Amino acid sequence: MRLTHATVSAGLRVLTLWRVARYLAAGGSSFLLDEVLQWLLVVVGGIAVSVAATISYELALLAHFFATHRWVFGHRRTSWRRLVEFHSAALTAYAITVATTWLLSDGPLGPRFIALFGSYALSGLAAKAIGTLLAFTWTFGSSFFWIWHPHRDERPPASAGAAAMVVAPARSNPAAE
């Protein structure tokens, strides 16, 4: 899909206040579900935190997808393509968070960023908050302008191309005669 004025303006029309509020509620609920599931897997299930965090994140991500797909954007049928795209956006968001956190805490910008806060721990929290904000911006934009963009599924009917096709009569080749 090409990014044109029409596609951007169609995406902006999707940004109703109610839809944005639902999107934020779905994301917040997903976060809470992730935390509760991780706690249950560690405390009740006896699973290591790193394993529990992965399982709870994936389960919450699936719940977030279905809530967003159905409740925020109103689609009734499951779209496996959108699920894969949603996971791709989520993995990219994770990479954005980790990269930003590293860049501002342990990377080349670390010493200057730490000096702003006077503490490695506080600067780490601030770095992750900035990374999370950037990641949220990415997932928000991906959801509204790519994954659930209103015009992305519009295709001309199959018969439109055939009806528009004009067959020209064959010309004889005077050189061949």
Domain spans, the chain: 19-75, 79-150
Question: pTM for this structure?
Answer: 0.69
pLDDT, tens digit only, all 177 positions of the chain: 555 655 556 555 556 888 899 999 999 999 999 989 999 999 999 998 888 888 999 999 999 999 999 999 888 898 899 999 999 999 999 999 999 999 998 999 989 988 998 888 888 889 888 988 999 999 999 998 899 887 766 554 444 444 444 444 445 554 544
Q: How far is CA 109 from CA 56, 62, 120, 123, 127, in A?
A: 32, 35, 13, 11, 11
**Angstrom distance (rounded) from CA 90 to CA 105:** 22
Cα dihedral 117, 122, 126, 132, rounded to 10, equals 170
Q: Name the residue with tokens 């992730």.
A: 34
